[in-house]
Structure formats: C-alpha cells, structure tokens
C-alpha cells in the first residue's frame, strides 16, 4: 500500500478512536459503567457497533483506557504543589486548579467519582501505585509547613480530602448547583473557597 494510503488510514483510525473515547466519556459519565452499553457508545460516536469492536475489545477496555488517560490529568494539580513555594500560595493554587478542573472537566470528574463509588475495580492499581505515593509526599510537605509554623495546625490528609470534596462537588452535582445558584456558581465558589481555606490555614 502507498505511503499516502497508510497515513490516511492512520488519521482515520486516530479520528475514530477519538470519537469513540469522547462518546464513551459522555455515556459513562451519564450512566456509569454498569448502565453504559456499547450500543449507546456507538450511537453517540456515530459509528457502528462492529466498528467500535474493531478498535476496542469491549466496554471494559474503553473504560480502562479513559481511566488510564484520566489519572495523569487528575494528579497534575497535586504534582504542581511546590515544596519550596509559599505554603498559602501553593495550597490556594491547588484549590483553584481543582476548581478549574471541576468547571472544565465535569465529565471526567463524574467518570472518576463513578469508578470510586463502585469500589475502584479498574482504577485500584493506579490508586495504590500512583496516587498513594504522591498523596503521602504532599501530606509530608504540608505537615512540614505546619511544623514550621507557616500554617495553622491541620491534618494534611483531611485538608486534601476537604479540598477534593468542596471543589469536585461543583462537577459531580452540577445540575443541583445550577438550579440553586442565582449567579455564576464557579465565580462565587472561587471567592468562597478562597476565604474558607485561608481562614482555616492562616497560622
């Protein structure tokens, strides 16, 4: 086959994989893993079910592929917390980055939440191998800031849990947030969470 045909096929394959994964993200975030079907993914992607199965062995492989891609994105905001920076600036930057993710990546947030609610059957290895060491490292950094008197006494683990719960709420419960908010909820959330965590963390 000519080189041009190979490149054309490769572009088509890349496009179709992208269509499938983007459609699957919609379906999984709306229906969860158990409620999602290949027929729903095929319809959302505008492709046939046999076409889906040409690229992926089944629903589980699509789901695992999405979770594997998501994990790196999910860890990035915590990775960016700099031990050498100003503690308040670093922690508030983390809060803001997580809130930005809730605004910009709501489907990914719901995909992650759905997997955790099911007991993380497909993501558990990532939690152990990737998240746990990073989490422990950043908790040690926060504890060092506390011990140095740069932050108020807080339990680093529960501080991070609180940041996760208060920021991801705006993605996972978006419908409720939109109904109950009079103005832009994310702008109000940024002001409120900034004040809340500054008060908690100020020594």
Q: Which domains does the chain have, with CATH numbers?
A: 1-56 (1.10.10.60), 66-201 (1.10.357.10)
User: How far is residue 138's CA from residue 11's CA, in Å, rounded to a whole number?
Assistant: 40
Question: What does the angle CA 108 – CA 86 – CA 109 come to, to the nearest 5 degrees?
Answer: 5
User: How far is residue 75's CA from residue 140's CA, in Å, rounded to a whole number?
Assistant: 17
- State the average pLDDT over residues 149-160: 98
Radius of gyration of the chain (CA): 20
User: How far is residue 48's CA from residue 23's CA, in Å, rounded to a whole number?
Assistant: 13
- State the average pLDDT over residues 9-29: 92
For residue 7, pLDDT over 70 is answered with no
For residue 4, pLDDT over 70 is answered with no
pLDDT recorded at residue 8: 55
Give pLDDT tens digits for 28-78.
999 999 999 999 999 999 999 999 999 999 999 999 999 998 988 899 999
Taking every pair of Cα atoms in the chain, the longest distance, rounded to a whole number of angstroms, is: 69
Residue 92, token pair as written in the block:
């508030």
- State the average pLDDT over residues 5-11: 61
Confidence of residue 11 (pLDDT cuts 50, 70, 90): confident
For residue 10, pLDDT over 90 is answered with no
Handedness of CA 96, 101, 106, 109 (dihedral sign): negative
pLDDT recorded at residue 1: 41
Residues of the chain above pLDDT 70, percent: 96
Q: Which spans in the chain are helix H?
A: 3-35, 38-45, 49-55, 59-79, 87-104, 106-117, 124-126, 132-147, 156-172, 174-180, 185-201
* Residue 202 to residues 15, 161, 172, Cα–Cα distance (Å): 49, 18, 29
Residue 50, token pair as written in the block:
């046999």
Of the candidates 116, 36, 38, 30, the one whose C-alpha atom is nearest the C-alpha of residue 70 is 116
- Burial label for 148, CB within 10 Å (0-12, 13-18, 19+), is exposed
pLDDT recorded at residue 2: 41
CB proximity list for 23: less than 8 A, separation 6 or greater: 41, 42, 44, 45, 46
For residue 150, pLDDT over 80 is answered with yes
Residue 171, token pair as written in the block:
């993605």
Per the prediction, the chain carries an average pLDDT of: 93
For residue 89, pLDDT over 60 is answered with yes
Confidence of residue 9 (pLDDT cuts 50, 70, 90): low
């Amino acid at each position: 086959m000519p080189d041009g045909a190979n490149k054309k096929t490769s572009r088509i394959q890349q496009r179709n994989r992208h269509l499938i994964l983007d459609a699957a993200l919609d379906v999984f975030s709306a229906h969860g893993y158990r409620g999602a079907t290949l027929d729903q993914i095929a319809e959302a992607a505008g492709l046939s079910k046999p076409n889906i199965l040409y690229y992926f062995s089944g629903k589980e492989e699509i789901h695992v592929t999405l979770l594997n891609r998501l994990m790196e994105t999910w860890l990035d905001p915590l990775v960016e917390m700099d031990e050498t920076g100003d503690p308040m600036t670093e922690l508030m930057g983390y809060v803001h980055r997580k809130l930005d993710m809730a605004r910009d990546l709501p489907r990914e947030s719901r995909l992650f939440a759905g997997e955790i609610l099911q007991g993380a059957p497909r993501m558990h290895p990532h939690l152990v191998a990737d998240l746990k060491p990073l989490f422990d490292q950043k908790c040690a950094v926060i504890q060092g800031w506390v011990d140095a008197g740069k932050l108020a006494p807080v339990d680093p683990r529960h501080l991070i849990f609180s940041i996760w719960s208060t920021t991801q709420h705006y993605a996972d419960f978006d419908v409720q947030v939109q109904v109950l908010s009079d103005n832009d909820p994310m702008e109000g959330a940024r002001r409120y969470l900034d004040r809340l965590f500054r008060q908690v963390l100020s020594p």
